[in-house]
Amino acid sequence: MQDLTKGNESKLLLTFVWPLILANIFQNLYNVVDSAIVGNFVGKQALAAVGASFPIIYTLISLIIGVGSGASIVISQYFGAKEELKVKQAIDTIFIFFLGASILISIIGIPMAPLIFRWMHLPLELHDDAVSYIQIYLAGMFVFFCFNGISSILRGLGDSKTPMKYMIISTILNVVLDVIFIVVFGWGVKGVAYATIISQGVALVGAIVHLNRTHEIINLGIRKYSFNTSIFKEAIRIGLPTGLQQAFVAIGILVMMRLVNGFGTNTVAAYAAAVRVDAFVKMPALTFASGLSSFVGQNIGANLESRARKGLRSTILVSGIYCLVITVLIFLFGEFVMSWFTQDQDVIRIGYNYLWICSLMYWAFSLMFAFIGFLRGAGATLIPMYITLINLWVIRIPLAIFLSQHYGSDGLWASFPISWILGAIAAGAYYKTNKWRGKVAK
């Protein structure tokens, strides 16, 4: 556990965030390695099928993850206020919630998958592989949710290193299993799904055993858990706006995927690979924002607003510099990176266009999420939800439809950076109003 209310703000944030970044690098390697192995050893159709599954998975889990982020903020505020009993009650509550939600998502998602793919107008040649992949993935969803529940708990307690360690173990195992299941056994996209579930399961078991032995507050396992209704309501109050925001964003991603599907298999495959790279390079900015939420949560809980503001400034500076460097690297090496996934030149060209168009405004993306991370940590998540939803549904999607009709897939890609700029302006303007004050957990 780490107390984020004392010491140099920039140093504390860097110390706290770098394990989160490393953990997320390895978590994103799941998707990158999966896509690279599938694209090179199975083919571009399999690559497209796996990529087309992601928006559905994200849609099904987004609301739950959002509520979990609220619980993490509640834990960080209680920990900052030194209320240990409430911290323990919050840990029990979030773990029960994640376990129950995972079972519900599997029950709903598995039979719905074929219907959703048909609604998305997925090319017929991709349908069977996509359905097989997502149904296996959803069957093991409880493993994913429980591991992320533990990670949320630890972030709230200021511990970012333990999730990093087990994510590294999980990713290495995933790579090994990918090779065995796909290259050796020839299981295709099913092998990717099995590798992901098994590797996350091993990480989950290892994390539970380790935490029960080393953390004085955490005790997970087969025992009686206490579900605290008032704490859960507080987590809902803080996390539901974020969850709803992510759910509507996820539905927006489904709509975007439907637009992408209309351009055929090459564009679907290119998008599947490019978004893996895109997520990978944007991840540090997102992680800084997530780490900032825990930092702000503890400091606002301890009535140290000025420290929270300094943390925001440090986050904007560091993540902004990073994004500018990444933009240059994308220009220079984007085509080479796309060639990791496939040797099809049309797919490489389309994917590279996506990367360089989006990379122009990564700095705006990092700025937007720095403000949002601060506001979430302060417990004020409702207005950022409105900003995000208006930005997506009123600006990005209509723009994507209009520009794709006139400029093809490049017009579709251009809608992303335009929406980031407007989102950064709106989130920054709300931060300046100071109306986020007084939203801490009671």
One-letter-per-residue 3-state SS of 356-368: HHHHCCHHHHHHH
> Is 375 part of any domain?
yes
> Is 327 part of any domain?
yes
The tokens describing 22, both together, are 């490393």
What local confidence, expressed as pLDDT, does residue 438 receive?
65
Residue segments in the chain with a per-residue pLDDT below the cut of 50: none
Task: Give the separation between CA 55 and CA 310, rounded to whole angstroms.
Answer: 35
3-state DSSP helix/strand/coil percent for the chain, to nearest 5? 85, 0, 15
Task: Give the separation between CA 247 and CA 385, rounded to whole angstroms.
Answer: 11
> Is 269 part of any domain?
yes
> Is 384 part of any domain?
yes
> Is 439 part of any domain?
no
Q: Letter for the amino acid at 52?
A: A
> Is 4 part of any domain?
no
The tokens describing 95, both together, are 């773990």
Distances (CA, A) of 177 to 22, 85, 252: 21, 41, 33
Task: Give the separation between CA 351 and CA 51, rounded to whole angstroms.
Answer: 13
Task: Give the separation between CA 363 and CA 326, rounded to whole angstroms.
Answer: 10
The tokens describing 420, both together, are 């980031």
User: Do the Cβ atoms of 76 and 239 come closer than 8 Å?
Assistant: no
- Measured in degrees and rounded to the nearest 5, phi and psi for residue 120 equal -75, 0
> Is 368 part of any domain?
yes
How many domains is the chain partitioned into structurally?
Answer: 1
Region of residue 222 (left: phi > 0; alpha: psi -120 to 50; beta: else): beta
Identify the domain containing residue 394 by its residue range. Answer: 9-433
Cβ contacts of 213 within 8 Å, gap of 6 or more: none
What local confidence, expressed as pLDDT, does residue 65 receive?
74
> Is 1 part of any domain?
no
Task: Give the separation between CA 194 and CA 369, rounded to whole angstroms.
Answer: 33
What local confidence, expressed as pLDDT, does residue 401 receive?
94
Distances (CA, A) of 194 to 110, 136, 138, 410: 15, 7, 11, 34
What local confidence, expressed as pLDDT, does residue 423 receive?
92
What local confidence, expressed as pLDDT, does residue 131 receive?
93
